[in-house]
Structure 1
């Protein structure tokens, strides 16, 4: 796989917002895929296809239904406008965040997907945010988009040893590049450059159990 090309294909953003009067951190990722919108929608919402690029999921993937991603988050389907968007709560470790996925047809054979992840700033905590920054969740979302890209372009199915791949030289480089891009987005949102870089390095070390200089 071309890791550099995948990292470069994703647009990343970080802004502040509000939800019910509370300050939020709004993290976005967007990528265009060489597949028609109906096929991309099916890949993103089908219980049969989601495990091929992400993780097994159980539950009722309909408006108002509850879902559970194996070993990860669960929640409720809050909005659904097929094939344009859906929104779910993303509940993990006792915390609640919100995930919205939007699709737009670029043309008949290409679809742009935007993922928006919203968390309450108070829930993240100022100290924790400064320590880890957006890479803490961003690296994981980058991995999801990598899996989706492989599925839609090559038909590959997510391997059972994907966790092992993340600890390979190639997997670590992918995470390093992702952390570096999130440091750029962090700084662009107004963070001090040194704080953004340090947070990316700390998160990379937490993911890989090691430390390394930023990739070129």
Structure 2
């Protein structure tokens, strides 16, 4: 099964923003807990440890990647329960992201925004975030976790088309 990709790409003065959303039948505070509390993030992304506060760096784990690597993650802004902005630097470059949670009817919308300097690699980045966000959805209902090969390379062409490739 190949899930349907949903991301959008918009140009910005500094590059582009990749935006993906998921809707939940849960209050904002509940969704916020799923993306900020270490025992919750461990279920869909990976654990994290450290003193989480704006301007500080925590250690986070990508538990569903080969080798389950740990990395440093800087908290650039934290405005509970609506906005978390983080950044990291690794061998693939700089990563700046925001998680935005808003009320929507009797539920909430989670918007992941990755601020990119260019659209290079979008064919790999987009499917990865689709996978992780669907992991979040599944973990919240104790459902079966998705399989990465259902996302990549199947969604690569969709994301490359967003970039005009």
TM category, shorter:
0.7 to 0.9
Work out whether residues 49 and 60 of structure 2, in 8 Å CA contact, stay in contact via their aligned partners in 1. yes
How large is the RMSD of aligned CA atoms in angstroms? 2.4
CA displacement at 1:175 relative to structure 2: 2.0
Once residues 139 and 26 of structure 2 are traced to their aligned partners in structure 1, the CA distance between those partners, rounded to angstroms, is 10
For 1:178, the equivalent position in structure 2 comes to 155
For 1:77, the equivalent position in structure 2 comes to 75
**Structure 2 residue corresponding to 1:99, chosen from 82, 97, 100:** 97
Gaps of 5+ in 2: 62-68
TM-score (norm 1): 0.64
Q: Which has the higher strand share?
A: 2
Once residues 154 and 27 of structure 2 are traced to their aligned partners in structure 1, the CA distance between those partners, rounded to angstroms, is 29
Change (3 A) 1:157 1:45: farther
Work out whether residues 78 and 87 of structure 1, in 8 Å CA contact, stay in contact via their aligned partners in 2. yes
**Structure 1 residue corresponding to 2:132, chosen from 114, 137, 144:** 144
Residue 11 (structure 1) aligned with residue 1 (structure 2): no
Q: Which 4+ stretches in 1 moved above 3 angstroms?
A: none
Change (3 A) 1:66 1:42: same
Work out whether residues 52 and 157 of structure 1, in 8 Å CA contact, stay in contact via their aligned partners in 2. no
Larger radius of gyration: 1
TM-score (norm 2): 0.82
Q: Which has the higher helix share?
A: 1
Gaps of 5+ in 1: 167-171, 197-216
**What is the aligned residue count?**
158
